[in-house]
Structure 1
Amino acid sequence: MEFILIVKSKGVEPSVGEMQNLIGNYAPWMRHYSESGNYLNGSPFHKEGVLVNGKGKRLYKGEFLEGSNLFTGYIHIEAETLESAVQIAEECPLLAFNSIVVMPILEMK
């Protein structure tokens, strides 16, 4: 089964040193799950975006781009069950400054 891990800020901006430490811890985590076949891809997001609420209903600024409402990236993984995907997420170093939403991807046929 495939899952998307949506990384959401806890509203605390890491210092430069904390960010370097976070990246230093994330790389081995990503490598481990890449080698095991669980990690498929992932990427951080820019700190800008548009909230679309319908045709012509766009919000370019607002709380959806601030603090603990900010989605900071995603991780695409493969796991046998939702529980095993959650266990992978629980080991992710990004949890130091983020929460992670684990969502199964429905296969469209």
Structure 2
Amino acid sequence: MWKVTNCYAIPFSEQKEDTPELDDGFNQSMLQMMKRATPSEQPVGWLGFYTNADLSAHCLPYHDYYNRLISESSAKKDPPPVILLTVDTTFSSADEKYRMPVRAYIRYVECHAG
């Protein structure tokens, strides 16, 4: 079990359908500041705000980016799986009527011997 204690906003653009844009310099800078402010904490993922309950098609490249970023910066030999937390900013899901519409995802990769 992981406990998410804080996060920071990430500027990104999904205007280009084929290539999502992330500001790597900004992310590296924020990661370094987070390490200085809370050196005992390990980054475990990223947060996405969406206008519906479905994941964006761009989530996979973002998730791969943060998986690489967190693996490279981790002091642990085997860093935890990267977590994606999403917030449906429309609060439109019926089952979320009285709760904050937050969901957590990890990437599951299935390997087949062959």
TM-score w.r.t. length of structure 2: 0.29
The structure, 1 or 2, with the larger RCO (C-alpha pairs under 8 Å, 6+ apart) is 1
**Which structure is higher in strand share?**
1
**Which structure is higher in helix share?**
1
